[in-house]
Chains A and B, each alone.
Chain A
Amino acid sequence: MSEFHDPSNVINPEHADHHIITPVTYGIVFATLLVFTGITVGAAYVDLGIFNPVVALAIASFKAVVVILFFMHVKYQSNLIKLTVAAGFFTFLVLITMTMSDYISRAWGLW
């Protein structure tokens, strides 16, 4: 990438930055997760028709994103790490979609 020897990454400084997340932030995240756990339990007792699973999964996804961004520090990581994480979840969605379209297109539920 560079003809210079650049041990401190002056040319590409993005991973040189190191951010320490404070306990205050962790406390806010902790409270958020507990509140949304309460909401998802409450929502389970309300009849929302087909939206019960939708709401439950939306809340679970929101909680997972909060955990990934803050507890797992991804918000403060380099683009390499962010892209790695995103690629993993994207590949997972591709696998689910392709496997499901295979099952849907033949003898659905006849086993």
Chain B
Amino acid sequence: MDNAIVATHPHTHETAVAAEHEHIVLPQHRHHFETQEQQREAATFGMWLFLLTEIMFFGGLFFAYLLYRNWYHDAFVVSSNQLSIPLGAANTAILISSGFFMALGVWAAEVKKQGLLVLFLVLTTFFGVAFLGIKAVEYHEKWEKHHIPGAHFDVSEFINPQAYGLKEKPLAPDMAQKTQVFFFLYFAMTGMHAFHMILGIGLLFWLTWRANRGEFSSGYVAPIENFGLYWHFVDIVWLFLFPLLYLINRHPGS
């Protein structure tokens, strides 16, 4: 077989001293990244780009609220006063606690404490579920009062507030119909927020399971860190929803 064509590889350092070029593939340092730091920054960058699209998504809802609150101010004032400040404030504190434990979870992953990481993820989940529970109580009250926009919406509390023991100014029937716009935005905004939390809680179960197997306590922090970014972003949305929906309309003159 003298005429066989033999592919020849150039003899390089890589083939001569193979041991020096052995690939150790770590999840925090995959082969297409030059350093762990580069991989980590790339992941953080990607996560933030996703969060920017989320800002735009929620931003549209916030803009709608800004516009309609100015147009139908009287209707927005009385319908906002239907929401419970104690429940909203409790939920804010609960969500901040959830975010605090998430931040501690990232720390536990960084310092490679597996038990603490699992504990903090469980606490994050617990406070997230508590938030949704209070939200469900609030939604249920709106359901019972027929304050969900649509064919069965009931404006009587807004046309004749005195009959219901409310100190609000009565609204003319056409303006009273605009309370549906407030409740539509209330359900759209808190509903999309709650949907993000439900997704997040699903991811938390998955991450807790993996953390419990020790996947994030030997230097591979990125999934915990980037989920933390998502969870804190959802917190921030609520930090704006709470004052806008619950707080700023308490004084009809404003």
Asked if B40 and A88 sit within 8 Å, CB to CB, the answer is: no
Given A33-B96, A84-B48, A100-B66 contact (CB < 8 Å): yes
- Chain A, interface residues (CB within 8 Å), range: 35 or more
Do A40 and B100 touch (CB < 8 A)? no
Q: Tell me if A's interface is mostly helix, strand, loop or mixed.
A: helix
Q: Is the CB of A9 within 8 A of B35?
A: yes
In the assembled complex, which residues on chain A have CB atoms less than 8 Å from the CB atom of B66? 96, 100
User: Could you tell me if A16 and B35 are in contact, using CB atoms closer than 8 angstroms?
Assistant: yes
* Chain A stretch 67-93: residues in CB contact (< 8 A) with chain B: 67-68, 70-73, 77-78, 80-81, 84-85, 87-89, 91-92
- Measured in the bound complex, the distance between the Cα atoms of B70 and A43 in whole Å is 21
Q: Are B44 and A81 in contact, with the CB atoms below 8 A?
A: yes
| Residues in A neighbouring B154, C-beta threshold 8 A | none
Interface range for B: 35 or more
- Interface bits B238-252 vs A (CB < 8 Å: 1, else 0): 011011101110110
Residues from chain B with Cβ under 8 Å of A34 in the complex: 93, 96
Q: Is B229 interfacial (CB 8 A cutoff)?
A: yes
Expressed in whole angstroms, the Cα–Cα distance for A78 and B110 within the complex equals 18
- State the Cβ distance, A8 to closest chain B Cβ, in Å: 6
List 5 A-B pairs, Cβ < 8 Å.
A9-B37, A30-B97, A41-B85, A67-B235, A72-B232
